[in-house]
Chain A
Amino acid sequence: MTELSIQLVNLFASFLLMLAFAMLAQRRVLTLINLYSLQGLTVVAATTVVAHMTHQEHLYYSAVLTLILKVFLIPWILHRLVKRLNVRWDVETLINIPSTMLVGIVLVVFAFNLALPISRLSSSVVPGTLGIALACVLLSFMMMIMRTKALPQVIGFLAMENALFFAATSATYGMPMVVELGIALDVLVGVFILGVFLFQIREQFESLDISHLENLKED
């Protein structure tokens, strides 16, 4: 039983890594949001399995919280944002997608090596997942850097938070409930604020391309 649970957590971890790459390679905003939603669902599944395996009651609560917040609520808000901002176009990346993915592989190798000594010290039953979570954080970070439009950057930020949450559950069996609630609300408020922010950017520049922000004033 525990054997199967460990395998399942490992499987979800690798699935998370794959989704991080899929988001990195994705061109369309709507698919990006759906991928984010799927990532949330994977995190929920992994959390539930860890909760079942370690008999930690509070992990169930955080799984339900994640389910409501990151699988339904935030994607719904993002969908609304896309509709109201009318930004269904293809996402532009700074360098082309195959090269981005090759850089991504390098990042994964780096993250795995970085996490190896840490996971040796860890008492968790699934030490390997820490490296994967770290890799996901770095990949989401790279997604934020590589995208020129504001909305994919917001999604990259949210994906990074997902990966951090996964790192917390798999490596340390979750944070205290208060901290988790705080982070969850932070993310929700963050999305609201960033949504308002996006409207403001568009109002000012009539585009969501953040390269406009580099100019101090109009020539």
Chain B
Amino acid sequence: MTFTRALSQVISVVTPLALAPLLLGWVNQVRAWLSNRKGPGILQPYRMLHKLFNKDSVMADTASSLFRFAPYAIFGCMLLANAIIPTLSTDLPLASAADAIALVGLLALARVFISLAAMDIGTAFGTLGARREMLVGFLAEPALLTVLFSASLNGKSTALATIVEAVVHRDFAIYPSLVFAGMAFTLVYLAENSRVPVDNPATHLELTMIHEAMILEYSGRHLALMEWAAALKLFAYSTLGIALFLPWGIGQRATPSSLLLSLPSLGLKLVVIGAVLALVETFSAKLRIFRVPEFLATSFLLGVIGMLTHILLGA
């Protein structure tokens, strides 16, 4: 019994690890298609990780041990975040270890590490990226919390597994609060994963970079871990969105077979989400950095309205 539970927990950790680059590759491929390019294929992130892991890592003379340690810490945070989110099943040993607020804390920890590492070398671009990241982060975090609170009010618990189960087991109904929370979450999703209206993951112009500017100094296996962590973050946010708003089809027992059964529906939802993300990115222009607070204030506002409508309408 404990063996099957442990095995299913391992499966639910390995799945994000294996699928995260695929999701990133899919998004990039759809973006390429939408701009009439052929695209590198959806397996490109794997090839890139393979290439980077086989390269030597070059360190700046001024780098401290923090710079060396940060990729592992960030990668660990993202992996743990993926383990907390009920991706494949709501009944997993680790799921009860941390609730939604701990998840936000975990993401914040990763942000602190990546910003410190970016400032560690002392180059102008790293510091610039770190400052912008903190600006985006401190505005996106309350918005994400309001989204999670809306969902928690609906599920009457802050434990993610309980929230998901509450939504799955109820009869289908329209919840205005969840509609608002969903819209707020979409904006946070774009901002936190350094997607187009806020940041451009494919940019080569240092002055507009946020996330890319922070990992500019990394190379070799450290860069590979950073890129993988970014893919894991995208995966974590995607599965968090699925868990909160479209959880149907999720497994409810901690057996490997139940997990594997819920894999196709998860895959289908991720394919759709990736395509929609690429569509949004293609259709929107990058915001000026000074408009980003407005963008995230809107997200925070929608989250708060979600909570308020829940209180007023009771739904």
Q: Are B309 and A25 in contact (CB under 8 A)?
A: no
- Chain B residue with minimal CB distance to A27? B294
Report the minimal beta-carbon distance from B186 to chain A, rounded to whole angstroms: 13
Interface of A is mostly: helix
Q: Are A25 and B308 in contact (CB under 8 A)?
A: no
Interface of B is mostly: helix
Q: A203 to B312, alpha carbons, bound, how many Å?
A: 47
Partner of B309, one of A104, A116, A132: A132
- Chain B residue with minimal CB distance to A130? B312
Q: Are A101 and B297 in contact (CB under 8 A)?
A: yes
State which of B51-59, B89-97, B171-179, B191-199 sits at the interface with chain A.
B171-179
Binary per-residue interface labels of chain A (95-109) against chain B in the complex, 1 for a CB within 8 Å, 0 otherwise: 001100110110011
Q: Are A109 and B294 in contact (CB under 8 A)?
A: no
Q: Are A10 and B308 in contact (CB under 8 A)?
A: no
Report the minimal beta-carbon distance from B252 to chain A, rounded to whole angstroms: 26
Q: Are B304 and A10 in contact (CB under 8 A)?
A: no
Binary per-residue interface labels of chain B (301-315) against chain A in the complex, 1 for a CB within 8 Å, 0 otherwise: 110110011011111
Among B177, B179, B298, B305, max chain A CB count under 10 A is at B305
B180 within 8 A of A: yes
A14 within 8 A of B: yes
Report the minimal beta-carbon distance from B63 to chain A, rounded to whole angstroms: 38
Report the minimal beta-carbon distance from A90 to chain B, rounded to whole angstroms: 12
- Chain B residue with minimal CB distance to A116? B312
Q: A25 to B187, alpha carbons, bound, how many Å?
A: 15
Complex interface residues of chain A between 130 and 147 (CB less than 8 A to chain B): 131-132
Q: Are A109 and B308 in contact (CB under 8 A)?
A: yes
Partner of A112, one of B183, B298, B312: B312
Report the minimal beta-carbon distance from B31 to chain A, rounded to whole angstroms: 26
Binary per-residue interface labels of chain A (71-110) against chain B in the complex, 1 for a CB within 8 Å, 0 otherwise: 0000000000000000000000000011001101100110
Partner of A25, one of B183, B293, B298, B313: B298
Q: A87 to B128, alpha carbons, bound, how many Å?
A: 38
Q: A13 to B310, alpha carbons, bound, how many Å?
A: 12
Q: Are A17 and B309 in contact (CB under 8 A)?
A: yes
Residues in chain A near residue B312, CB distance under 8 A: 112, 116, 128, 131-132
Give the number of chain A interface residues (Cβ < 8 Å): 27
Q: A129 to B179, alpha carbons, bound, how many Å?
A: 16
Partner of B311, one of A4, A21, A101, A112: A112
Q: Are A98 and B180 in contact (CB under 8 A)?
A: no
Q: Are A98 and B297 in contact (CB under 8 A)?
A: yes
- A-B contact list, 25 entries, CB within 8 Å: A4-B174, A7-B173, A7-B174, A7-B315, A8-B174, A10-B174, A11-B179, A14-B177, A14-B305, A14-B309, A15-B176, A17-B305, A21-B298, A25-B298, A97-B297, A104-B301, A105-B304, A105-B305, A105-B308, A108-B305, A108-B308, A112-B308, A112-B312, A129-B313, A132-B312
Residues in chain A near residue B311, CB distance under 8 A: 112
- Chain A residue with minimal CB distance to B304? A105
Q: Are B315 and A18 in contact (CB under 8 A)?
A: no
By size class, the interface of chain B is 20 to 34
Q: A116 to B183, alpha carbons, bound, how many Å?
A: 26
Q: A121 to B8, alpha carbons, bound, how many Å?
A: 53
Report the minimal beta-carbon distance from A113 to chain B, rounded to whole angstroms: 10
Q: A25 to B180, alpha carbons, bound, how many Å?
A: 16
Q: A101 to B302, alpha carbons, bound, how many Å?
A: 10
Among A10, A11, A13, A112, max chain B CB count under 10 A is at A10
Q: Are B293 and A98 in contact (CB under 8 A)?
A: yes
Residues in chain A near residue B183, CB distance under 8 A: 18
Q: A11 to B313, alpha carbons, bound, how many Å?
A: 10
- Chain A residue with minimal CB distance to B305? A17
Residues in chain A near residue B293, CB distance under 8 A: 98
- Chain B residue with minimal CB distance to A101? B301
- Chain A residue with minimal CB distance to B314? A128
Q: A104 to B304, alpha carbons, bound, how many Å?
A: 11
Q: Are A98 and B308 in contact (CB under 8 A)?
A: no
Residues in chain B near residue A8, CB distance under 8 A: 174
Q: A104 to B174, alpha carbons, bound, how many Å?
A: 25
Q: A185 to B95, alpha carbons, bound, how many Å?
A: 60
Q: A15 to B311, alpha carbons, bound, how many Å?
A: 16
Report the minimal beta-carbon distance from A19 to chain B, rounded to whole angstroms: 11
Residues in chain A near residue B174, CB distance under 8 A: 4, 7-8, 10-11
Residues in chain A near residue B297, CB distance under 8 A: 97-98, 101-102
Complex interface residues of chain B between 263 and 315 (CB less than 8 A to chain A): 293-294, 297-298, 301-302, 304-305, 308-309, 311-315
Residues in chain B near residue A13, CB distance under 8 A: 176, 313
Binary per-residue interface labels of chain B (229-243) against chain A in the complex, 1 for a CB within 8 Å, 0 otherwise: 000000000000000
Q: Are A18 and B308 in contact (CB under 8 A)?
A: no
Residues in chain B near residue A109, CB distance under 8 A: 308
Complex interface residues of chain B between 155 and 176 (CB less than 8 A to chain A): 173-174, 176
